[in-house]
Amino acid sequence: MESILFGIVWIILSAIGEWAGRILINHNPLYYTASNIGVMVEQAFDFILVVLIPIFAFVVLTFIWTMVRFHVKKGEKPELPQHWARSNRWFVGIWVLGSIVVNVLFVLHPTTSATEQFFAMEQPSAPQNRHALVVDVTARQWEWIFSYPQYGLVQTVNQNGQDLLEVPVGRPVELVLRSYDPYHTYDQYVDVIHSFWVPSWGVKEDVIPGETRILYITPTKITSFAQNPMSRVQCAEVCGPGHPWMEAPLNVVSASQFQNWIAQEKALQSNQG
């Protein structure tokens, strides 16, 4: 009878937890995604959340149930109940098998399945990457420099003179990541490791001196740093005293707005030249 009551309470708590989890998933109060990779990360989080809610409810209920059911007042020496769970092979077997199944499930999905999708998207020969917008991203202490070789732009900035990354929505972007100082004689052993991180895109890639790393991503939402602070390029690798301020705003705009911005940057570059 006690086991049946425990099972009923567990089912009710799991149902309430799943209902609350669905509200969390539908309203997304904890994360802001604006890219194809970000959507993959969000879907993986949602899947794990849904699966783990009943398990979490079971573990927490077991602790609380045990504390209440076997509570002993000070000075009492009650007769200890039989530890059926310890000697019950079915209980132990189901618990161990269930743990294995859940862990294998998470290895297969979303870990392996998402990794396979990510590797497929990272192939330069992938159809969606053949006409990608190329952006050279240079990390130096303590600045992000963005150049657009397809348009002849060496360094793009906003109206305040701050380095700016601006890309069109829905178009694949090829980010060429390097770590060096273009204003001084380059020495890969003098530079440091940085990390390219855009919270709203759900990506973080180390930028290592002496290496060139390629990252493909497709923005899925028109956004900007002014609209949401998670739309920014932030260094996520401690790189010196200026590390906390090594960031740059990100703007994702429509195709027509992007072309207008390219024209403005070209005019600005010509005036500076």
> Tens digits of per-residue pLDDT, 160-173?
889 999 999 999 99
User: What is the sign of the dihedral through the CA atoms of 116, 119, 120 and 121?
Assistant: positive
pLDDT of residue 227: 92
Question: Any idea which residue has 């990608």 for tokens?
Answer: 132
Residue 143, pLDDT above cutoff 90: yes
Instruction: Report, as an integer, the average pLDDT of 255-272.
Output: 88
Decide if 175 contacts 214 (C-beta within 8 A).
Answer: yes
Higher pLDDT, 210 or 71: 210
- Looking at residue 151, the DSSP 8-state letter turns out to be G
Count of CB atoms within 10 A of residue 168's CB? 20
pLDDT of residue 81: 61
Q: Is 251 left (phi over 0), alpha (psi -120 to 50) or beta?
A: beta
Residue 251, pLDDT above cutoff 80: yes
pLDDT tier for residue 180 given thresholds of 50, 70 and 90: confident
Q: What are phi and psi of 42, to 5 degrees?
A: -65, -45
pLDDT tier for residue 30 given thresholds of 50, 70 and 90: low
Higher pLDDT, 230 or 113: 230
Residues in the chain: 273
Decide if 216 contacts 122 (C-beta within 8 A).
Answer: yes
Residue 128, pLDDT above cutoff 80: no
Count of CB atoms within 10 A of residue 24's CB? 14
The overall pTM is greater than 0.75: yes
pLDDT tier for residue 185 given thresholds of 50, 70 and 90: low
Q: Checking DSSP bridges between strand 213-217 and strand 203-207, what pairing results, if any?
A: unpaired
Structure tokens at 79: 């007769």
Segment 62-116, tens digit of pLDDT? 899 888 877 777 777 766 666 655 666 777 788 889 889 988 988 888 888 877 8
pLDDT of residue 80: 63
**Distance between first and last Cα of the chain:** 84
d(CA 153, CA 268): 10
User: Which helix or strand (DSSP H or E) is residue 53 part of?
Assistant: helix 36-69
Decide if 32 contacts 200 (C-beta within 8 A).
Answer: yes
Structure tokens at 86: 């310890």
d(CA 118, CA 114): 6
Collapsing DSSP states into helix, strand and coil, what is residue 144? strand
- Looking at residue 142, the DSSP 8-state letter turns out to be T
Residue 235, pLDDT above cutoff 90: yes
Collapsing DSSP states into helix, strand and coil, what is residue 122? coil
